[in-house]
Each structure stands twice: as C-alpha cells, then as structure tokens.
Chains A and B, each alone.
Chain A
Amino acid sequence: MTLWGGLVIKTIFVQGPVPGLRLLLIVIVSAALVVADARFDKLSRVRSAIATALVPVYWVGNVPDQLHDWASGLFVSREDLQQENEDLRARLLILQRRALKYAALASENNELRRLMNSSELLDDRVIVGEVVGISPDPFSHELIINKGRSDGLFPGQAVLDAHGLMGQVIQSSQITSRVLLVSDSSHAVPVEVVRNGLRAILLGSGDSHNLELVHVPDTADIREGDLLVSSGLGGRFPRGYPVAEVSRITKEPGEPFVSIQATPKAELDQSRLVLVVFPPQTPESDRSEAAPGEPREAPGSPLPGEG
C-alpha cells in the first residue's frame, strides 16, 4: 500500500524523473563546458555555430536602430542636405590635399625602406563593417559588427574607426563578429609615445573614456597631451594607429611607477562604422586563413590583448 501510494503521490507531485538528478546532470555538464570554454578554449566552433543560428535575433535587435535612422532620414530638409553636402565636399578637398602630400611621403618612405632592406608594407587592407549590436553585459565592452567569417574575418584582427584604434575581433560567426574594445578591463594594447618612442602597455579600465598606461617609471619623459600609437609589438595590432591621448599624470611620492590616465582617440561608444584591418599577407597569415577551423592560431598571442 505504501509502495502503491508512494507511486501515486509521485506521479502527482513530481513530473518525470527526479528533478534533483537532472539538476546534478546539468551542473556537471555546465561546469565541464565552462572549464572547456574559458580555460582550454575548445568550444569556439560550437559557439560560432550557435551565434550563426542566432543571427536573426541580432537582426531583429538592430531593427529599432535602423528604424530610427530611417525615420530621422525621412524629415531632413533640402537645405540641410545641401549644407551637409557642401561640408562633405570641403572636407573631401582638405583630405585630398593631404592625400597628395601622402603619396609623395609614401613613395619617399618606400624608397627609404628599400634602402634599409625592409619589406614592411605601408598601407593595410581594410574592410568596412557596421556596428549592429553591443554586449548586453554591462561589465564587458564589446560590439557586434555585421562582417563575419564569410568576409574573411578571423579572431585577432584590429578594428579601427575614423579616429583611432577601437579594439580587436575576438570571435567571428558566419556573418557577424564580436569586437573587444580597448576599454574592456581584460584588454591591453602595446603602445608607444609618438614624440619619443617610449613604449608602454595601455590597459582598459572598464570605463569607455578612460584607459590606464601602466608600468611607466617615475622618471620617464611623458607629458599630458602626448599621443599614444600602437607599437606593433606582440604582433597583433598593426603599427602606428593612434590609440589614446594622455589626459592626466599623477606622481605619487614613494611609488616606483607614475599613474597615467589616457583618453581613447576612437569614439568607442558612438562610432557606427568601423574598419577591420587585414594583416599584411605573410605565409603565416595565409596559413591561418586557409584553416578557419583553428581561428585562435592566428598570428599573435592566444589571449585577447597582449597583457
């Protein structure tokens, strides 16, 4: 009777197998997944497949922004458009003048490089992407852009906007990619001061208007207003792109290093169009493009950033 009664009660109050067992199962599976993903990086293909399946979600999530763009484009007066057109023409003229000079400089530079037997290319190949989403986690600074593996993107590529370095691609699905911004607290860029070539590491701080330059000795020649450009050391970021400007230097007596704050040059939370840089074609990068299954083998360190 107790057995029978127990069975009856069970069918009423517990649905299916014991939930505790399932909980144990999923806790074990989850723990295994977390370790495999976060420690050993084995699941990037699974993640990329799920991300590809979730593309409609990203697309729907981006619809309000597109609607907003469309609606604000709907009610623009002719005068405004003409004004904007003229401004753009003026800007184009200025840039063209600069490009004229640049051509001369580039040929001079190539000549000098040739004299020095250096084979480095001056210009990088880029592709333009649009920001279609941002990370829902308030503690991580990430963007989602509308270019993915089908456009040849792979983790480790540098991402720029019109003003400077924004971050790097950390994961690419078929038609979208995830970009870790320089302001994320897990990100680091090797930089140098333009004025004198002083090298340092620029860390993100979790604040999109503030980066930290670390391990700069007390006596180093660095001033507020100095421009920091990527140094190219570490092999992940191309050399010479502006990253940040030193905004504040605090010297603490007794400390071996000065604390230096820098403001990112790129408009990390505003830019909608970004440039993804392809590294110069070397045998190494050819290999990594030929084997998209192993995106983490891209040139550079296996960690995001060089820190």
Chain B
Amino acid sequence: MLAIIGYPAFLISVLAGLVLSISLFPVGWFEFRPEWMGLVVFYWTFRAPEHFGILLAWCLGLLLDVLESAPLGVNAMAMGVVAFLVLTIHHRLRMYPLPQQSLIVFLLLGISQMLVHFIKQLLGGENAGFSYLWPALTSALIWPFFCVLLDNINRKLG
C-alpha cells in the first residue's frame, strides 16, 4: 500500500482538479459534474494522512470558493470536514475494497455537499431539492478509476 506522498503528483492532481472544476464538462450536465476537488482532498488525506491534513484541505477549498464565486469559506469548510472525516476513518478505509470505498466517498462528499447547500440556503440561495447530491454520486462512481489513476501517477513520479 502506498504511504508516500509524491509532491509532483500532488501538484498535478490539485491543478487538474481546479481546471476540471471549471472546464471540460458539457454545459447542460453541470449538475452531474463530479466534485473533483473533493476527490483530490479525499485521495490525499487517505493516502498521506501524515502530510495532508485539514488545513491544506481548507486552503484548497478556499481556491474552489473563488473559482465558484461562492461566499469565501463555504467550500473551504466543507473540504476541511471531508479531510477530518477521512482522517478519523482512514485506518478502516484501507481495509475496504474499492466498491466499499466508493460508498464512503459518496457518504463523505454527500455530507460536504449538504453542508455547502445548507450554508448557501442560509444566505438565501434557491432550493433545488436533492439534486445537489448528484456530484457526490458521480464522484463515488468515478472514485475507483480516479484512485487507480492517481496511484499510478504517484508511483511513476513519487
């Protein structure tokens, strides 16, 4: 099991996550866009909990806030919460097979989306039912590929 952190791989994944968050997805399907930064935060906290913690996740969330022009701090808090939850369960998470990890991805990113949605509602956003959970679902579906891909990059560069 990989326990090292490859800084080039980390930088690449963060940049790719930021770019993917604003681009490369059909406009009509924005609702279903995976939560790329959430996946990046999940992966690195899971793989390198000694190096990648809540504060770094918070900083990445802040960047996402600016990209999404959400109120500063909303996504930052959500990313911090994801990192915290991963930190508390990463020992068990390592034992799980990929499908079960996907389920956890869905749960954690769902929680973070719910938090984001909740704060936006407090600030007067419109209510769109439960459709804000779609990104959590697509992220969970994409997790196995994402994880394997990043593991490979990590091995090559790390």
Contact = CB atoms under 8 A, between A and B. Distances in A.
Contact of B73 (A37, A54, A186): A37
Interface stretch (A26-34, A76-84, A238-246, A284-292): A26-34
Interface in A1-59: 13, 15-16, 19-20, 22-23, 26-27, 29-34, 36-38, 43, 46-47, 50-51, 54, 57-58
B107 to A, nearest CB: 17
B68 A34 contact: no
Contacts, number: 118
A47 B81 contact: no
Interface of A: 13, 15-16, 19-20, 22-23, 26-27, 29-34, 36-38, 43, 46-47, 50-51, 54, 57-58, 60-62, 64, 133-140, 142, 170-171, 178, 185-186, 206, 269
Contacts of B18: 54, 57
B77 A30 contact: yes
A38 B80 contact: no
Contact of B53 (A15, A36, A58): A15
Interface stretch (B19-27, B95-103, B136-144, B147-155): B19-27
Interface residues of B, number: 42
Given A50-B63, A57-B19, 11 more contacts: A13-B91, A27-B81, A30-B74, A50-B62, A57-B67, A60-B15, A64-B24, A134-B22, A135-B68, A136-B21, A137-B30
B84 A60 contact: no
B71 A136 contact: no
B1 to A, nearest CB: 16
A15 B27 CA distance: 41
Interface of B: 15, 18-19, 21-24, 27, 30-31, 33, 49-50, 53-55, 58, 62-63, 66-74, 76-77, 80-81, 84, 87-88, 91, 119, 123-126, 128
Contact of B58 (A26, A54, A269): A26
Given A15-B53, A19-B84, A50-B62, A34 B22 contact: no
Contacts of B125: 139
Contact of A30 (B21, B58, B88, B123): B58
Contacts of B76: 26, 30, 33
